Structure 1
Amino acid sequence: MAPTTAYAGPMSDGDDLQYVTVHGYRRAYRMTGSGPALLLLHGLGCDSSTWDRVIAPLAEHFTVIAPDLLGHGASAKPDADYSLGGYANGMRDLLTILGIDKVTVAGHSLGGGVAMQFAYQFPDRTERIVLVSAGGLGREVTPLIRFLTVPGSGSAISLATRRPWRRLVAGGLRGLSRSRLTATRDLGEVARIYESMADPATRRAVQRVTGHVMDWRGQYITMTDRTYLATIVPVLVIWGADDLVIPVSHAQVARDQKWSDVHVLPGAGHFPHRDRPDDVVRILLEFVASHEPATYRRATWRAMLRRGAQPALDSAPSADSPTVTVAG
């Protein structure tokens, strides 16, 4: 018998995290603001706090829901389903518990892959898609992440994160991140991920996630064979021009598909929502204001699946949809 879904909250541990129990597992999330729902999905090894520089300004316009994905942050880290489809199902269940029917779903890195999977599985609940330096648009990814799929990498990471040198390594990474070098821009966030990997449960969960979408050669689970389906949903793509984790060239997929808006931000790396939070908020607000929510029509969805390409639709983005690079 399948486990039941129970509403166990909201509860709080003293900060802005709340908790529900879904299928027997604790799920942590942040929820604030009012207005249309905006779901923010973090990247691999991160948690909902990665959005802390944009949540408050976005909450002035939206009901913002920022969960810790299963296996991350304060959520449970069980021996469970860590596939993109499993994450998409978990987001559907969380939203259902919270009484939210439809969302604009935004995802960073791994969260971008989950956002695309959510829109693919639940088009009737997706109003818009926002991809921030997203996974799932090409094979290339930094060797540091691909290393997680190599046999024995768990033991190597366990050794590398032991207490005697953990503080020294993390401090060094943070110090390097404060330099003006492009190559060290993201090391402050890398330090947080590095420290979290000292926990065996977190390490196991992150490796399970990674193994579902890539091997030592790169990402083998991508949405490139289904990107044509996104032409009936407004899609915003934001990428850091200096991204050394997932190359900015992956944004070309969005350009080729004539998605709604593509923005490449100079002076930003893999975490543009932290490097240039004001610009990310402004771009997202302008995108939502200028693009009405998608309306799911089963007949249209069926026609697109049968043809494998975009049918002639009045609601589809124009072939001359702009590509925008934010200067400054």
Structure 2
Amino acid sequence: MTDLPEHISIWGELADVPHELRHVDVAGVRTRVLLAGAGPDLILLHGTGGHLEAYARDIRGLADGFRVVAYDMVGHGWSDTPDRPYTIDVLSDHLLGLMDALGIQRAHLSGESLGGWVVAWTAAHHPDRVDRLVLNTPGNIANKPEVMARMRDSTMAAVRDPSDATVRRRVEFLFHHKEMVTDELVLLRRAVYSRPGFVQAITNTLVLQDPVVRKDFAWEPGWVGKIAAPTLLLWTEHDPTGGLDEAAMLLDWLPDARLHVIADAGHWPQWEKVEEYLRVHREFLHE
């Protein structure tokens, strides 16, 4: 019998997982949502320019103990792209609106990159809606201009020219092990970035990489210190958006936080180090 690779495809990851993929109306925004499993609600938020498939390799493992909700944020994936700046408060309001639409009063929130920023803001400003919080490689806590410029330029280049080579470079940015970037992942991104009007949508997302706009939402101890939810900082050794010095800043600002560092991974540990990602989520969220 021929040995099968660990990862075949996104459909292969979900093939034996009972799940539902549908669109939900969130204050007029048609929002693509995947639901799986049963138990306490756990909502997963992707990063800049991303979509719910970022969590394809984790749905099975998390659905064992949670009702998992993964979705495309407003202006992302195959959700609607209304023409307005997608600042952190807008993305947070969209999350809360989705929770309302699904009848979820409180949930565990786990966000990667931009998603981590959104869930942290939500926990600080709406503490009654959040049980436990996971900030997965939340990225550029120090608001470094060079990191903002790299994120803005690489993302915009891929959307303006959604060719294989340009989009592949953008996806490879997320990985320490570039060989793990599949053609399927690249093609999905190319399909998203080729949607009509998506250049304007990503422009509305990338306002957060403008220091003038960002200052109203930038990570700082004033609002971060209001996060009452127990928080897990999930960092990696090779995150291109921020080092462990930035994790230390968050540990100082957060009232109740701990740090776990995943070795040999980049910005997407949920894809590169699935078993460790799942284990630390289960241990922390089930405490």
TM-score (ref. length: structure 2): 0.79
**Structure 2 equivalent of residue 90 of structure 1:** 94
Determine the C-alpha separation between the residues in 1 that align with 2:75 and 2:64.
30
Q: State the AA in 1 paired with 2:70.
A: A
Corresponding residue to 1:144 among 135, 141, 150? 150
**Structure 1 equivalent of residue 210 of structure 2:** 215
| Runs of 5+ unmatched residues, structure 2 | 1-18
Is 1:136–1:222's contact at 8 Å kept on the other side of the alignment?
A: no
Q: State the AA in 2 paired with 1:209.
A: T
Task: Give the 5 Å matches for 1:1-328.
Answer: 16-135=20-139, 137-140=141-144, 141=147, 143-147=149-153, 160-161=161-162, 166-170=163-167, 182=176, 184=178, 193=189, 196-211=192-207, 213-215=208-210, 220=215, 221-224=217-220, 225-230=222-227, 232-257=228-253, 259-290=256-287
Kindly state the Cα deviation for residue 204 of structure 1 after the two structures are TM-superposed.
1.7
Identical pairs, percent: 26
Task: State the aligned residue count.
Answer: 261
Determine the C-alpha separation between the residues in 1 that align with 2:202 and 2:252.
31
Q: Secondary structure at the match of 2:34?
A: strand
The answer to which structure, 1 or 2, has the higher relative contact order (CA under 8 A, 6+ apart) is 2
Is 2:158–2:167's contact at 8 Å kept on the other side of the alignment?
A: no
Is 2:121–2:224's contact at 8 Å kept on the other side of the alignment?
A: no
Kindly state the Cα deviation for residue 217 of structure 1 after the two structures are TM-superposed.
9.6
Kindly state the Cα deviation for residue 184 of structure 1 after the two structures are TM-superposed.
4.2
Is 1:136–1:219's contact at 8 Å kept on the other side of the alignment?
A: no
| Runs of 5+ unmatched residues, structure 1 | 1-14, 291-328
Determine the C-alpha separation between the residues in 1 that align with 2:140 and 2:23.
29
Alpha-carbon displacement from aligned partner over 1:257-286 (angstroms, at most 9, x marks no partner): 364221111111000111111101100111
Determine the C-alpha separation between the residues in 1 that align with 2:270 and 2:158.
27
Q: Secondary structure at the match of 1:134?
A: coil
Kindly state the Cα deviation for residue 143 of structure 1 after the two structures are TM-superposed.
3.5
Q: State the AA in 2 paired with 1:160.
A: D
Determine the C-alpha separation between the residues in 2 that align with 1:283 and 1:73.
27
**Structure 1 equivalent of residue 3 of structure 2:** none
Determine the C-alpha separation between the residues in 2 that align with 1:202 and 1:186.
26
Q: State the AA in 2 paired with 1:255.
A: L
The alpha-carbon distance between structure 1 residues 92 and 218, as it changes in their structure 2 partners (threshold 3 A), is: closer
The alpha-carbon distance between structure 1 residues 109 and 218, as it changes in their structure 2 partners (threshold 3 A), is: farther
